[in-house]
């Protein structure tokens, strides 16, 4: 029996009926399904296919690839398998379409992509496919980084870091790269002292004498309109100090093994959902968020928070 024939046999299962970890998909099912997908994408790009698909290039398709990636993250957060399946499919569509575009331009095709990926996975996992020892995730990551450096022959520790990464995620990766060569605070608790320092530097730019007014957070106070910074040089300095604060926050997340981009994305979603519940509650009572007072909105917001705590 050949290796491919062996892999196409029905997967072994646990007592619960789920496949054993590391079991590949049934090739007798996957192969024709994937072939059909490739045929469909190729047809869309053909002269008698879809005008929109024919018009795409690797450059024009980039925004959709990024959008689908974030939609997949939302689906994973939802825990809804049907939603995850759909978004994984949309992301796979981007990969297959990109490869078809490249093939139509005579550059490369999907086979080149798959072969390169397969070879990379084998070469970067010598502890699985070779005789290198790696018993912990940390050892695996160290081996991975060493192999990657040898492959790329990079001159700087920051070479290969995607410029298009979201700024918060990029901050964490930049600091991680520096930490790997020893440039990091000896103790992670020191980052909070650094954060206080950066906040004070921001205050020095914004307030006379650097004294932050004690203004308790409350919805019962009078509304004071914000004023823009008229001095361009001051604005630039304040922007720099705010950036330093965010960089330290990204480092705090890194040292506690938290992805800052994920953390902020979840907080964004949480706040949005709570405000949407304010909208729904006001509509239920015949009002609207445009007509409600700040106090009314805050009362509902706090009730939503309390309900979330009870549910959790």
Contact yes or no for 57/41 (Cβ under 8 A): no
User: Which range, of 55-64, 105-114, 128-137, averages the lowest pLDDT?
Assistant: 128-137
The tens digit of pLDDT for each residue in 139-190 reads 887 777 777 777 666 778 888 888 888 899 999 999 999 998 899 999 999 9
The tens digit of pLDDT for each residue in 70-127 reads 899 889 988 999 999 999 999 999 999 999 999 999 999 999 999 999 999 998 888 8
Distance CA(195)–CA(249), nearest Å, equals 7
Measured in Å, how far apart are the chain's first and last C-alpha atoms?
52
The tens digit of pLDDT for each residue in 189-233 reads 999 999 999 999 999 999 999 999 999 999 999 999 999 999 999
Contacts of 20 (CB under 8 A, 6+ apart): 11, 12, 13, 14
Provide the 3-class DSSP secondary structure of residue 292: coil
Distance CA(20)–CA(29), nearest Å, equals 18
* Average per-residue pLDDT for the chain: 90
- 277: alpha, beta or left, given left = phi > 0 and alpha = psi -120 to 50? alpha
Contact yes or no for 289/297 (Cβ under 8 A): yes
pLDDT of residue 159: 85
Stated pTM of the model: 0.67
């Amino acid at each position: 029996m050949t290796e491919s024939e062996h892999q196409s046999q029905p997967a072994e299962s646990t007592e619960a009926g789920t496949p054993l970890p590391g079991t590949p998909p049934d090739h007798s099912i996957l192969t024709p399904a994937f072939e059909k997908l490739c045929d469909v994408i190729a047809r869309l790009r053909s002269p008698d296919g879809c005008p929109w698909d024919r018009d795409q290039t690797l450059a024009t398709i980039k925004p959709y690839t990024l959008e689908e990636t974030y939609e997949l993250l939302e689906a994973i957060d939802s825990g809804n398998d049907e939603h995850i399946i759909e978004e994984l499919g949309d992301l796979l569509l981007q990969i297959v379409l990109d490869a078809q575009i490249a093939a139509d331009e005579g550059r490369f095709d999907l086979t080149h992509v798959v072969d390169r990926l397969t070879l990379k996975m084998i070469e970067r996992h010598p502890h699985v496919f070779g005789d290198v020892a790696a018993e912990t995730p940390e050892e695996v990551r160290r081996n991975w980084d060493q192999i990657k450096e040898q492959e790329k022959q990079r001159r700087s520790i920051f070479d290969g870091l995607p410029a298009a990464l979201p700024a918060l995620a990029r901050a964490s990766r930049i600091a991680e790269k520096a930490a790997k060569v020893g440039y990091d605070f000896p103790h992670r608790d020191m980052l909070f002292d650094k954060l206080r320092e950066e906040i004070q530097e921001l205050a020095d730019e914004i307030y006379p004498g650097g004294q932050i007014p004690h203004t308790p957070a409350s919805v019962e106070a009078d509304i004071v309109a914000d004023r823009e910074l008229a001095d361009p040089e001051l604005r630039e300095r304040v922007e720099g100090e705010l950036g330093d604060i965010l960089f330290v926050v990204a480092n705090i997340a890194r040292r506690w093994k938290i992805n800052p981009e994920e953390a902020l994305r979840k907080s964004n979603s949480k706040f949005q959902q709570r405000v949407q519940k304010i909208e729904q509650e006001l509509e239920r009572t015949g009002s609207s968020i445009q007509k409600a007072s700040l106090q009314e909105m805050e009362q509902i917001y706090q009730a939503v928070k309390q309900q979330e705590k009870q549910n959790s």
